[in-house]
Amino acid sequence: MKILFGVQGTGNGHISRSRELVRKLKEDGHDVEVIISGRKESELKEIEIFEPYRVMKGMTLVTRNGKMNYVETMFQLDLVRLMSDIVTLDTSGVDLIVTDFDPITSMVARTRNIPSVGFGHQYAFKYDIPVGPGTFFEKFVLLNFAPARYNAGLHWSSFNQPLFPPVIPATLYDHSSVTVIKKKILVYLPFEEVEDIVEFLGPFDEYVFFVYGKVHENRDDGHLHFREYSRKGFLDDLMECNGVVCNAGFELPGEALHLGKKLLLRPLDGQIEQQSNALGMVELGYGMAMDTLEGSVLAEWLQQPCREPLHYARTVDYISEWIGSGEWDELKKYTDAAWAEMS
């Protein structure tokens, strides 16, 4: 099958899970061409698995100081370029479009009547799952930014809906030889300013914090260890740490739950997906959440024990099988099988 695969490049989570599914689809014999949008090519790292790929401007959601900025998001939108990319994209011979929240491939599928699969956490919001407070506009954007005909939604729990478990990097299924360092904490807060993170973590000098996010070089400052992005380094720190402090995205908390790490989430203000994730995390009893970088909450959380690993299934195996089967209306058969493997 010839598949056009669209990836929203704004966050590392989209790239991480799409990397795993693209690899599996290729292993299963599909011809996969990838479009990455929403991020400059110079900022993309470790994406060799996507070759052949093209980078397009697409649409980018802008944040400032830990909060969504919808005004700047609208100002940076280049509608002429977006429509040009949609109109000129060659889809000859394409049997299926898979979109991980990429608006270009989503729109191409709709305008050319090509079957499409929405792959990712955002597509779980088509179903009955915890949803945080938000405006009508925020909910509309979440559901209509990059819609698809069929939905491979992901979540940390099935919530008795036809959802798949999170996509876990292959590296994290073989971690038995890794020694967990009790007072090592992984911090990933890419929407926060570094000086705010330093003020937040500074008083807790009996712990060591490995901080990723707006960091452009490796440096150590006492108990604070700042690290520029490295996929291998990040996953190594994740396996060694005792807990994770992060924004309320989806991929990293899922990986932490898979490994049995305790979680403290700080949802991005004005972003209904992250607000919903924080709500769901607390409702499931899987972790804690805070509205701001609150030292008192961090102090309480640091005393919490870890939880048992959830050992999620190899989700991309089931999604690739579902895609290859052509039984796109038989989603529940494949989601049930993925959760059954986990249990």
Whole-Å CA distances, 251 to 47, 234, 330: 17, 13, 25
216 and 231 co-located in one domain: yes
- The verdict on whether omega for the bond into residue 305 sits within 30 degrees of 0, i.e. cis, is no
221 and 328 co-located in one domain: no
Model pTM greater than 0.85?
yes
Q: At 37, which CATH number?
A: 3.40.50.2000
Domain limits for position 133: 2-167+313-342
Under the banding of pLDDT at 50, 70 and 90, the label for residue 216 is confident
Q: Which three-class secondary structure state does DSSP give residue 320?
A: helix
Spatial separation of the C-alpha atoms in residues 269 and 26, rounded to whole Å: 38
What CA dihedral angle connects 85, 90, 96 and 99, to 10 degrees? -20
142 and 101 co-located in one domain: yes
pLDDT tens digits along 166-184:
999 988 987 777 899 999 9
177 and 140 co-located in one domain: no
pLDDT tens digits along 105-119:
999 999 999 999 999
Instruction: Establish if 285 belongs to a structural domain.
Output: yes
Spatial separation of the C-alpha atoms in residues 63 and 323, rounded to whole Å: 34
For residue 74, the model assigns a pLDDT of: 56
161 and 179 co-located in one domain: no
Instruction: Establish if 308 belongs to a structural domain.
Output: no
201 and 150 co-located in one domain: no
Instruction: Establish if 80 belongs to a structural domain.
Output: yes
Instruction: Establish if 91 belongs to a structural domain.
Output: yes
Per the structure block, which two tokens stand in for 200?
Answer: 């937040």
82 and 216 co-located in one domain: no
| pLDDT over 80 (residue 308) | yes
pLDDT tens digits along 32-83:
999 998 777 667 777 888 989 888 876 666 555 555 555 555 556 657 777 8
Out of 14-18, 104-108, 163-167, which region has the weakest mean confidence (pLDDT)? 14-18
Report the candidate in 213, 29, 37, 6 with the shortest Cα–Cα distance to residue 120: 6
Higher pLDDT, 48 or 333: 333
For residue 88, the model assigns a pLDDT of: 87
Out of 17-21, 131-135, 249-253, which region has the weakest mean confidence (pLDDT)? 131-135
Spatial separation of the C-alpha atoms in residues 336 and 330, rounded to whole Å: 11
278 and 177 co-located in one domain: yes
286 and 195 co-located in one domain: yes
Domain total in the chain = 2
Instruction: Establish if 307 belongs to a structural domain.
Output: no
61 and 159 co-located in one domain: yes
Instruction: Establish if 60 belongs to a structural domain.
Output: yes
Instruction: Establish if 68 belongs to a structural domain.
Output: yes
39 and 143 co-located in one domain: yes
162 and 178 co-located in one domain: no
